[in-house]
Amino acid sequence: MHIRFLVPGNVRHGSGGNKYNTKLAEHLADQGATVETATVDGGWPVGSPADRRRFADVLDGGATVIADGLVASGAPDEIAGAVNAGTTVWILSHMALAEHSDRESRALAAASGVICPSFHAAAELKAKHGPLNIVVAQPGADAAEAGTGSQPKHIVAVAALLPNKSQTSLVQALATLKDLPWTAALIGSRDADPTYAAEVGAAVEHYGLERRIRITGELAGAALQEQWHKADLSVLVSQSEAFGLVVTESLAHGVPVLVRQGTGAVEALGNTGAGAVLDLSDPHNLAGTLRTWLTDPAVQQRWRNAGLLARTHLPGWDTTAATVLKALT
């Protein structure tokens, strides 16, 4: 089977969507598909007329197409034209568009089918656009060595510095815990939103936490593995999240996670017991939960044990790819 995988060229920082696309393409190829990945430049999710013409050109060619929703959901006419001409086009919708709902609705309806990374994301699409032909292919996890933790306890938040990821809320919570020993690292791109990244840095300085909270920028390879190795807790309190790949990445290292209620990260954490789901409509809940964890060895051990158990049961990316391949064929 020949699959043309179309990904956006205007998301240059590390993201869960980018990682999902890369891993899916890799494992589709491992399962016998011929995968041609093409980066589509443009001002997505809508782009200019010229951007959409380029997108229409790469849709043409007879292959089965998987198109990232950030590109495809703003180009309903191009999707409809390709499908009407005989091309099978599946939209990989990582998350519903915040704007351009009418365009997205028409694009999803015109597509041959929709792939979502979680039941949470699929439910959001259906609530917004009505019945759709959706296949859920949850992300896999790469096997990883269990982290050993640190003294004092080390907290990581792995996400690009973006308002949705709520790093300033984490800094404010940690500022109330100066009486306790801990260190923290905010690990993610500072270039995705330089204005917000500056706000996060200013918050760290405002609370006098420069020696305790390190803003590392985006890390990969050995530098990222070093952070996972010494991590005791991972925090992902995004305001919205389709799934939260960092949750399963945390669990793969045996590191428990705090996630926000009402997001797809709850699905990623599942019923592992490796951490907690927080109602952050009360802004004190994050600081309170962190204080409980830092001061109660029984909670630390319970979450740690659950994380170590969870890492032995995580599905691999081969399962994700097999689900998608079955849908496409």
Q: What is the pLDDT of residues 208-263, one digit of tens each?
A: 999 999 999 999 999 999 999 999 999 999 999 999 999 999 999 999 999 999 99
Tell me: the pLDDT tens digits for 189-198? 999 999 999 9
Under 8 Å between Cβ of 310 and 20: no
Q: Which residues of the chain have pLDDT under 70?
A: 10-14, 61-62
Tokens of 174: 């940690």
Residue 177 burial (CB count, 10 A): 18
Q: How confident is the model at residue 104, as a pLDDT?
A: 94
- In terms of CATH, what superfamily is 2-140+316-328? Glycogen Phosphorylase B; (3.40.50.2000)
Task: Say yes or no: do domains 2-140+316-328 and 154-310 share a fold.
Answer: yes
Q: How confident is the model at residue 202, as a pLDDT?
A: 98
Tokens of 119: 């039941």
- In terms of CATH, what superfamily is 154-310? Glycogen Phosphorylase B; (3.40.50.2000)
Tokens of 262: 């009402």
Domain ranges of the chain: 2-140+316-328, 154-310
CA 244/CA 278 separation, integer angstroms: 15
Q: How confident is the model at residue 15, as a pLDDT?
A: 76
Q: How confident is the model at residue 11, as a pLDDT?
A: 65
Residue from 173, 168, 180 nearest 286 by CA: 173
The number of angstroms, rounded, from the C-alpha of 202 to the middle of its chain's C-alpha atoms is 26
Model's pTM, two decimal places?
Answer: 0.91
Q: How confident is the model at residue 10, as a pLDDT?
A: 66
Q: How confident is the model at residue 227, as a pLDDT?
A: 98
